[in-house]
């Protein structure tokens, strides 16, 4: 793998999957896709496919989890065994446990948890296929699922990564770019509040590069946020049409 001579970005600035440097993977969003969940969403971002579902606010079980002044928010990010090249063992890995935590803290500031004291909100994300950016796509899907469940929110959270691959700063890295690139900075953002709710980085960047990467990622988040709103609206348009027909 390490001696692969193939370039990830050609001299016209085109990436292995045909995208330009500042181009997102093609995104497809569907809301309200699962019958049992109180809210759900499915997001495809290139080959990355994520399903998110919300159950709650419901009674806190076990009881000792309940907080007297706000709802407790539980999050599980999980990758399906078949989502990656080599089968991933289904038990939660250390990576998944960490990501569940940072995703929870990325969504937390968007929800009016204080409206539902003593309750529990469960948020489940299943990565069905991974091609880079799974935590970001999971956040995008999770926030939509919460909105679909009708949980009151300050804003929807959209997430997107940017990074550095072969001396180029690029948006929305795919799996190969993530593995072979020099840096990856996933960001979650609430555009209406100018709030960064998730920020991680690994790799090496100068402060100047980091500044540009953050701008690039936030630009991506804003585009995704617009798509999220569109998808939510589309759901209600279909509901309305169905009602009119019926």
Partner 1 sequence: MTSSIVAATVKKKQIAQLISLGKRLDGRGLTDYREIQIEPGVIERAEGSARVRLGKTEVMAGVKIETGEPFPDVPNAGVLTVNAELVPLASPTFEPGPPDEDAIELARVVDRGIRESKAIDLEKLCVVPGKKVFVVFVDVYVLNHDGNLIDASVMAALTALLNTKLFNYEVEDGEIKKKPGYTRLPMTNHPIAVTFAEIKDTLIMDPSLEEEQVMDARLTVTLEKDGKICAMQKGGSGYFTQEQILEAVKAAKEKTEELRKIVVGG
Which residues are near partner 1 by CB under 8 A?
A: 1-2, 67-69, 94-95, 97-98, 100-102, 105-106, 108-109, 185, 190, 193-207, 210-211, 214-215, 218
User: Could you give the C-alpha distances from 234 to 20, 36, 163, 246, in angstroms and in order?
Assistant: 28, 20, 32, 18
User: Could you give the C-alpha distances from 196 to 64, 80, 116, 117, 173, in angstroms and in order?
Assistant: 31, 28, 24, 26, 19
Nearest Cα to Cα of residue 32 among 225, 242, 236, 245: 236
Nearest Cα to Cα of residue 130 among 168, 166, 171, 96: 96
Nearest Cα to Cα of residue 119 among 54, 64, 67, 44: 67
Shortest CB 109 distance to partner 1, Å:
5
Shortest CB 176 distance to partner 1, Å:
12
Confirm if 49 and 94 have CB atoms less than 8 A apart.
no
Looking at the Cβ atoms of 97 and 237, the one nearer to partner 1 is: 97
Shortest CB 10 distance to partner 1, Å:
24
Shortest CB 35 distance to partner 1, Å:
31
Looking at the Cβ atoms of 193 and 239, the one nearer to partner 1 is: 193
Confirm if 5 and 118 have CB atoms less than 8 A apart.
no
Looking at the Cβ atoms of 4 and 12, the one nearer to partner 1 is: 4
Looking at the Cβ atoms of 16 and 117, the one nearer to partner 1 is: 117
Cα separation of 213 and 208, whole Å?
Answer: 9
User: Could you give the C-alpha distances from 48 to 3, 18, 73, 242, in angstroms and in order?
Assistant: 26, 16, 25, 31
Looking at the Cβ atoms of 204 and 234, the one nearer to partner 1 is: 204
Confirm if 197 and 190 have CB atoms less than 8 A apart.
yes
What are phi and psi for residue 79, nearest 5 degrees? -105, 135
Looking at the Cβ atoms of 99 and 141, the one nearer to partner 1 is: 99
Shortest CB 234 distance to partner 1, Å:
28
Shortest CB 57 distance to partner 1, Å:
17
């Amino acid at each position: 793998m390490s001696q692969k001579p193939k370039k990830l970005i050609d001299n016209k600035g085109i990436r292995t999957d045909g995208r330009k440097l500042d181009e997102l993977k093609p995104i497809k969003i569907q809301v309200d896709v699962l019958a049992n969940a109180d809210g759900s969403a499915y997001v495809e971002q290139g080959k990355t496919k994520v399903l998110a579902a919300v159950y709650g606010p419901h009674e806190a079980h076990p009881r000792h989890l309940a907080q007297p002044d706000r709802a407790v928010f539980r999050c599980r990010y999980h990758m399906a065994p078949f989502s990656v090249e080599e089968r991933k063992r289904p038990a939660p890995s250390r990576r998944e446990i960490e990501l569940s935590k940072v995703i929870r803290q990325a969504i937390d500031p968007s929800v009016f948890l204080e409206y539902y004291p003593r309750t529990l909100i469960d948020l489940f994300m299943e990565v069905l296929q991974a091609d880079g950016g799974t935590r970001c796509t999971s956040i995008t899907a999770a926030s939509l699922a919460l909105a679909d469940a009708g949980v009151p929110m300050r804003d929807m959270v959209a997430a997107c990564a940017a990074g550095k691959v072969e001396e180029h700063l690029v948006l929305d890295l795919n799996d190969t770019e993530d593995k072979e690139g020099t840096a990856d900075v996933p960001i979650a953002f609430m555009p209406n509040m100018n709030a960064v709710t998730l920020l991680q980085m690994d790799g090496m960047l100068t402060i100047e590069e980091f500044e540009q990467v953050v701008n690039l990622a936030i630009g991506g988040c804003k585009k995704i946020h617009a798509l999220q709103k569109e998808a939510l609206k589309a759901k209600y348009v279909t509901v309305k049409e169905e009602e009119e027909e019926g």
